[in-house]
C-alpha cells in the first residue's frame, strides 16, 4: 500500500509543490494556518488536518514547507507538533532551516524512531509550478531512495550526503550566490543607466556575454524591467538565508567579507523598503543612484 503523504505549509512554494503531488495521484493530508490556503486542496479531495499532530496521526510521510527555522522547529517538535503523531515515520523538510537546526531536529526525531530528511529546494515559484526545482537531500540514503519517486514530482534530485544538515548547507551556498547576483546586477545596471544606456539593452548584452547570471537571465526580465516586482520570494527570506550562511561560516571560523557586504545591502533593503518581493532590492539601488531600471516604454 502506498504511503499517505502529509503536507504542511501551503504558501508561495508549498502550494504548487503540493498541487503537483496531487496531480501525480498522491493522496494528501494537508495543514496550513490559513484556511483559505487549505480550501483549494480539500476541493480536490485532500483531507484537512486541524493541527500538525492531527496530520501526523494520518500520514506516513510528511513534507514541510515553512518560512523560518523557529517555525519549522515549533511545527515539528512543539507540543502539538508532527513528532507527536502516531503514524508518521518520515519528515521531509523542504524549507531553508540551516544545518544546525536540522541537526537538532534530526537528533530529537531519532530518539522517537522517526526519520528526518533535509530537502531544501531552489528554483522559485516558477520552478515549483513546473516541477523543475533543484531538490537537495541529505539524510539516510535508503530513505532518500525509497522516497525518490515522490520527490521527483517536484524537481531534479541531488543527494548531498547522509549527515543531517548537509543539504541545508548546500542551499545556503546557493542562496548566497543568488542574493549576490541580485544585488550586484542591480548596482551594475544602475551605473550603466546613469551613463545613459537603456537597461533592457544592458540585460540583452550581459545575457549574451560572460556577465550573465540568474538575476540577469530571470529576475530582471520578468520582474524588474517590467516594473512588476512580483517574482514570489520575500526580502526577509533572502536576508534570513544570507544571514544563516554567515552564521554558519562564522561557526566554522571563516570571515567572508564579500558575503557580509551582501548581507548588509539586503538588511538595508528590508529596513528601507519593508518586506516586499525580493526583487525590490533594485528599487533601493535605483533610489540611491537616481535612475530607473525599466524597459523603454515599461512602467516606472
**Active-site residue flag, 171:** yes
pLDDT above 90 coverage of the chain, percent: 97
Looking at the structure, tell me whether residues 153 and 23 fall in a common domain. Answer: yes
Residue 295 in any domain: the answer is no
User: Is a pLDDT exceeding 90 seen at residue 150?
Assistant: yes
Cell (9 digits) for 123: 528554483
Q: How crowded is residue 34: how many other Cβ atoms within 10 Å of its Cβ?
A: 9
Catalytic residue from among 89, 141, 171, 194? 171
Question: How confident is the model over 236-253, as a mean pLDDT?
Answer: 96
Does the residue 32 lie in any domain?
Answer: yes
Which residues span the domain enclosing 89? 5-163
| Residue found by looking up cell 517574482 in the block | 231
Domain shared by 252 and 131, yes or no: no
Strand locations in the chain (E)? 5-8, 28-31, 47-48, 61-64, 90-93, 115-118, 121-122, 133-138, 155-161
- Give 47-90 pLDDT, tens digit per residue: 999 999 999 999 999 999 999 999 999 999 999 999 999 999 99
| Same-domain status, 10 and 115 | yes
Kindly report the average pLDDT of the chain as a whole number. 96
User: What average pLDDT does this structure show over 22-32?
Assistant: 96
In a domain, 144, yes or no: yes
| Same domain flag for 134 and 224 | no
**Boundary (domain end) residue, out of 109, 139, 163:** 163
Same domain, 46 and 137: yes
Tell me what the mean pLDDT of segment 12-19 comes to.
97
Give yes or no for a contact between 72 and 98, defined as CB atoms under 8 angstroms apart: no
Residue 1 has pLDDT above 90, yes or no: no
Listed residues 163, 191, 211: the one ending a domain: 163
- The Cα-based distances of 266 to 85, 216, 231, 237 in angstroms read 38, 18, 16, 10
Same domain assignment for residues 93 and 179? no
Residues 198 and 157 in one domain: no
Same domain, residue pair 226 and 158: no
pLDDT at 143 over 70: yes
User: Are the C-beta atoms of residues 126 and 105 closer than 8 Å to each other?
Assistant: no
Residues 135, 271, single domain; the answer is no
Domain assignment present for residue 299? The answer is no
What digits encode the pLDDT tens for the residues 203-216?
Answer: 999 999 999 999 99
**Rounded mean pLDDT of 181-192?**
98
Do residues 75 and 131 both lie within one domain? yes
pTM of the complete model: 0.93
pLDDT at 300: 46
Reported confidence tier of residue 295, pLDDT bands at 50, 70, 90: confident
Domain harbouring 206, CATH code: 1.10.1040.10
Domain match, 175 and 69 both: no
Averaged pLDDT for residues 260-273 = 98
Task: Inform me whether the pLDDT recorded for 178 exceeds 90.
Answer: yes
Residue 11's CATH number: 3.40.50.720
Counting the structural domains of the chain, the total is: 2
- pLDDT score of 204: 97
Does the pLDDT value for residue 298 go beyond 70?
A: no
Confirm whether 20 is domain-assigned.
yes
pLDDT recorded at residue 297: 57
Are 150 and 5 in contact by the 8 Å Cβ rule? The answer is yes
Average pLDDT value for residue range 129-146:
97
Residues 154 and 213 in one domain: no
> Last residue of a domain, which of 130, 145, 163?
163
Amino acid at each position: 500500500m502506498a504511503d499517505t503523504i502529509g503536507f504542511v505549509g501551503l504558501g508561495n512554494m508549498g502550494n504548487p509543490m503540493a498541487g503537483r503531488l496531487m496531480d501525480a495521484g498522491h493522496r494528501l493530508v494537508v495543514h496550513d494556518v490559513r484556511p483559505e490556503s487549505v480550501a483549494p486542496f480539500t476541493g480536490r479531495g485532500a483531507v484537512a488536518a486541524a493541527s500538525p499532530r492531527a496530520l501526523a496521526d494520518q500520514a506516513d510521510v510528511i513534507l514541510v514547507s515553512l518560512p523560518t527555522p523557529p517555525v519549522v522547529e515549533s511545527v515539528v517538535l512543539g507540543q502539538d507538533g508532527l513528532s507527536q503523531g502516531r503514524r508518521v515515520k518520515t519528515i521531509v523538510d523542504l524549507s531553508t532551516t540551516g544545518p544546525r537546526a536540522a541537526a537538532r531536529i534530526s537528533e530529537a526525531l531519532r530518539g522517537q524512531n522517526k526519520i528526518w530528511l533535509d530537502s531544501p529546494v531552489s528554483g522559485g515559484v516558477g520552478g515549483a509550478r513546473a516541477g523543475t526545482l533543484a531538490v537537495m537531500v541529505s539524510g539516510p540514503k535508503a530513505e532518500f531512495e525509497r522516497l525518490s519517486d515522490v520527490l521527483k514530482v517536484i524537481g531534479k534530485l541531488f543527494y548531498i550526503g547522509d549527515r543531517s544538515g548537509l543539504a541545508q548547507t548546500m542551499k545556503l551556498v546557493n542562496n548566497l550566490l543568488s542574493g549576490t547576483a541580485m544585488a550586484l546586477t542591480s548596482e551594475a545596471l544602475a551605473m550603466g543607466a546613469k551613463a545613459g544606456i537603456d537597461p533592457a539593452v544592458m540585460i540583452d548584452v550581459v545575457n549574451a556575454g560572460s556577465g550573465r547570471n540568474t538575476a540577469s537571465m530571470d529576475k530582471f526580465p520578468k520582474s524588474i524591467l517590467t516594473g512588476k516586482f512580483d517574482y514570489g520570494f520575500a526580502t526577509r527570506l533572502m536576508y534570513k538565508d544570507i544571514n544563516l550562511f554567515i552564521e554558519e561560516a562564522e561557526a566554522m571560523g571563516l570571515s567572508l567579507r564579500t558575503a557580509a557586504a551582501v548581507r548588509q545591502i539586503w538588511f538595508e533593503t528590508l529596513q528601507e523598503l519593508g518586506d516586499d518581493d525580493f526583487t525590490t532590492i533594485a528599487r533601493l539601488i535605483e533610489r540611491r543612484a537616481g535612475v530607473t531600471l525599466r524597459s523603454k516604454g515599461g512602467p516606472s
